[in-house]
Structure 1
């Protein structure tokens, strides 16, 4: 009988841990998606692994985070109306004009936890 109670407690603990982990992943996913929404339409500057700097308007990112869709991409070789930039080719991205309401949401989320 005692073994059964320990087993039940263990099962309940495992379920609680799994639920907490799932909630944490859902919360992080929501923050990530809100960041992408906030970035959409923002001017961005990207530094490439080759050392050049390109500029454009951030429009979105693929589901795997491997490609960034940019409009009005200005490169050292010329301008492109739209382009997909591979994230493996970038060192960093700087963004200006991050949408205020999304920025406030993110700031509130981090201070609430």
Structure 2
């Protein structure tokens, strides 16, 4: 017997709609109004900047995918260095889910690392 699957919907916003809040920083950065705020740049400059952003974003997302299941060395604030098996990132890349986190105080089986606490990270391909 097939099990029905619930449909995941975005919660209703303050205006009753579902989607991004037009006043949020993310919407303003990624929205169509951001193209008009470039200023005196012509269409060719805007297109070149967009292509550069696309290439950088794609490389970064590919590096996240390549890290999955591999040991990653994280350099945190206060000169703390930790190692863990990288699991995943949330959609906004604000947190990393890791396993077997080796800290100076011991090993954590599962943990979330806030990206704002990370200075740098490295892993071997």
Name the TM-score class by shorter chain. Answer: 0.5 to 0.7
Which protein is bigger by CA-based radius of gyration? 1
Q: Runs (4+) of structure 1 moved beyond 3 Å?
A: none
What TM-score, normalized to structure 2? Answer: 0.56
What TM-score, normalized to structure 1? Answer: 0.60
Q: Structure 1, unaligned stretches of length 5 or more?
A: 1-12, 99-113
Q: Structure 2, unaligned stretches of length 5 or more?
A: 1-40
| Relative contact order, higher structure (CA 8 A, sep 6+) | 1
Q: 2:92 aligns with which of 46, 52, 64?
A: 64
User: How is 1:14-33 mapped onto 2 (pairs within 5 angstroms)?
Assistant: 14-33=42-61
Count of equivalent residues: 85
Residue 46 (structure 1) aligns with: 74
Structure 1 CA distance, aligned partners of 2:75 and 2:42? 44
Q: CA deviation at 1:65?
A: 3.1
Higher helix share goes to which structure?
A: 1
